[in-house]
């Protein structure tokens, strides 16, 4: 419950600007293709810098890395309020980097403190608590922006991330006793990737995680844009994201189904169902409210995948490689925010917005075929 609560608080911080950023980026960039290029560029920069996080942990330990992540997020909240595309890109980069620092450090604490036999029960609980943050954050951010003032959601982010850091400090989590302060230069982070992707189970966990996160990134960016462009407005976009996030509260149910039915079958159902539903979204977008309704159904089906959470990685990683392999694994979010926007930018240069969901649907169907490689014992 301690770790699940921290992940829930972090999710709330992460989602305050979840709907605000794409809507504001649409206003600054001019169209959906410009927004795709914005996310593509920021994600490439963030992924390259995130590889330095393990080296920082090696040098200054996890607690100070978390403190730096908190500072980076707070500075980003200030920069978001300044005009200019370049400043906006820097702010986005700092915010993403700050949350990556939190992600890596918290996952390492989880690996230290939660036995592997308990991971199957912890992951659905973690996702459920994170889902609670997703339910509140997106709509609250847009509501504050439209009803209180432009700066309101950014001020809330600073307050929320400060509360998260104070809570973490108050808990006084200990690191694994085998971890020692650095006595030699940190290893080259680029060496982690070949070592990671030489292991088939870790490779599979990464690819499936990229697909899952990529679908949600597609939804969180393009669903609000769809609401704005179809005339429904910003608040409907924020309400859509928050309302759909309530599906994450069902994750413990999907997790229980996975333990009873098998994780492999659960993932096959989730990825295949998400792919079919995403294709249906593309054909329903001519009617705004019908499009929103099918988006809700697609998100509910996709939430089934979250019943497994990061279980595939947590079960596959070897104890002596936790820090290095975790630093590689958490880049799945950056990969999910890098490759899809690049593809979507190219598609939107030729086609209309529904092409995004056609591409997303086909990708999820392809990932459904990969689930046959998930070990049966999971």
Domain boundaries along the sequence of the chain: 2-172+192-373
Question: Can you give the pLDDT of all 378 residues of the chain as single tens digits?
Answer: 788 888 888 889 988 988 888 888 888 877 778 888 888 887 777 777 777 777 777 777 788 888 999 999 999 999 998 888 888 888 988 998 898 888 888 877 877 777 766 766 777 778 778 877 878 888 888 889 888 888 999 999 999 999 999 988 887 765 544 444 444 545 555 677 888 888 898 999 999 999 998 998 888 888 888 888 888 888 888 888 888 877 777 777 887 887 788 888 889 999 999 999 999 988 888 888 998 999 999 999 998 888 887 888 878 887 767 667 877 887 787 788 777 878 888 888 888 888 999 999 999 999 999 998 888 766
The single residue listed with the structure tokens 């980069």 is 93
Q: Looking at domain 2-172+192-373, what is its CATH homologous superfamily?
A: MFS general substrate transporter like domains (1.20.1250.20)
CB of 35 closer than 8 Å to CB of 342: no
Residues 332, 260 contacting (CB under 8 angstroms) = no
Distance CA 206, CA 196 (A): 10
Scanning the chain, the segments in alpha helix (DSSP H) are: 2-15, 20-29, 32-50, 53-79, 85-113, 119-147, 152-171, 192-197, 200-229, 234-245, 251-261, 263-284, 288-302, 311-316, 322-329, 332-350, 354-370
Say which residues have a Cβ less than 8 Å from residue 363's Cβ, sequence separation at least 6. 211, 214, 215, 275
- Cβ–Cβ under 8 Å, residues 21 and 92: yes
Distance between CA atoms of residues 108 and 323, nearest Å: 7
Exposed (0-12), middle (13-18) or buried (19+): which is 360, by Cβ within 10 Å? buried
From the list 284, 305, 327, the residue with the least C-alpha distance to 374 is 305
Distance CA 77, CA 189 (A): 29
Angle at 256 between CA 259 and CA 299, to 5 degrees: 115
């Amino acid at each position: 419950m301690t770790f699940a609560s921290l992940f829930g608080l972090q999710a709330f911080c992460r989602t305050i600007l979840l709907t605000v950023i794409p809507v504001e980026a649409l206003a600054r960039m001019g169209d959906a293709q410009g927004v795709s290029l914005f996310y593509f560029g920021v994600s490439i920069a963030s992924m390259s810098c995130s590889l330095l996080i393990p080296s920082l942990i090696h040098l200054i330990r996890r607690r100070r890395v978390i403190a730096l992540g908190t500072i980076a997020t707070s500075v980003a909240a200030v920069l978001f309020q300044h005009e200019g595309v370049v400043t906006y890109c820097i702010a986005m980069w700092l915010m993403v980097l700050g949350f990556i620092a939190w992600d890596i450090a918290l996952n390492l604490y989880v690996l230290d403190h939660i036995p592997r036999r308990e991971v199957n029960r912890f992951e659905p609980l973690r996702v459920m608590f994170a889902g609670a943050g997703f339910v509140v954050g997106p709509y609250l951010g847009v509501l504050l922006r439209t009803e209180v003032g432009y700066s309101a959601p950014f001020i809330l982010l600073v307050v929320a991330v400060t509360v998260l850091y104070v809570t973490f400090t108050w808990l006084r989590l200990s690191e694994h006793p085998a971890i020692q302060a650095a006595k030699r230069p940190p290893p080259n982070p680029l060496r982690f990737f070949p070592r990671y992707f030489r292991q088939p189970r870790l490779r599979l966990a990464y690819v499936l995680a990229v697909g899952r996160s990529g679908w949600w990134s597609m939804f969180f960016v393009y669903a609000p844009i769809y609401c704005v462009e179809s005339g429904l407005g910003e608040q409907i976009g924020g309400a859509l994201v928050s309302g759909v996030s309530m599906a994450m509260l069902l994750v413990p149910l999907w997790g229980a189904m996975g333990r009873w039915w098998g994780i492999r079958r659960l993932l096959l159902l989730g990825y295949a169902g998400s792919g079919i539903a995403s294709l249906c979204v593309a054909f329903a977008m001519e009617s705004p409210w019908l499009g929103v309704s099918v988006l809700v159904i697609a998100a509910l089906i996709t939430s089934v995948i979250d019943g497994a959470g990061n279980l595939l990685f947590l079960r596959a990683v070897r104890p002596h490689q936790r820090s290095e392999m975790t630093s590689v694994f958490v880049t799945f979010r950056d990969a999910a925010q890098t490759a899809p926007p690049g593809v979507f930018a190219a598609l939107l240069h030729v086609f209309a917005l529904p092409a995004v969901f056609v591409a997303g649907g086909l990708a999820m169907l392809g990932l459904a075929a990969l689930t046959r490689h998930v070990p049966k014992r999971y």
